[in-house]
Amino acid sequence: MFAQGVVSTALHLVGTPYRNGGADPEGFDCSGFVQYVFWQQGISVPRTVDELSRSGTRVDEPQLQPGDLVFFHTSGRGATHVGIAIDSSRFVHAPSSRGEVRVEPITRPYWAERFVEARRLVVTTAP
């Protein structure tokens, strides 16, 4: 199943260092991480948080499923950070703070206060 593959790939990368602009196992930024994980499942997705936040369909937070994207406002305006839902309460992402891919609860106050939306991608097969 597609979602299981996405989550499995994402979890396999836990501990990978953060690298601004990174999109490979040498280091990831948040959107590069998402793009790489989906690409490993044969799915082409946009590269930037802004583009990702306009993709797929919006999902209410209580309806989160594995593989959905979760967006947060960490700086600037609108969604500025993205991660991949593992289940309805946890996500995996590449944050710049503490510098590595990790799993965190969506309900952690820092993330809960900054939650913008979740999206389920309408995916296309990569070339």
From 13, 23, 30, 43, the catalytic residue: 30
Query: Is there a catalytic annotation at residue 81?
Result: yes
| Residue 59, Cβ density class (10 Å: 0-12 exposed, 13-18 middle, ≥19 buried) | middle
Question: Would you write out the chain's pLDDT as a tens digit for each of its 127 residues?
Answer: 588 999 999 999 999 999 999 999 999 999 999 999 999 999 999 999 999 999 999 999 889 999 999 999 998 789 999 999 999 999 999 999 779 999 999 999 999 999 999 999 865 455 5
The CATH architecture of the domain made up of 2-125 is Alpha-Beta Complex (3.90)
16, 22, 70, 81: the active-site residue? 81
Identify whether the C-beta of residue 10 lies closer than 8 Å to the C-beta of residue 92: yes
Residue 113, token pair as written in the block: 């206060």
Is-catalytic flag, 73? no
- Check 90, 93, 102, 119 and give the catalytic one: 93
Q: Which amino acid is at 39?
A: W
Domain locations along the chain? 2-125
* Annotation marks residue 12 as catalytic: no
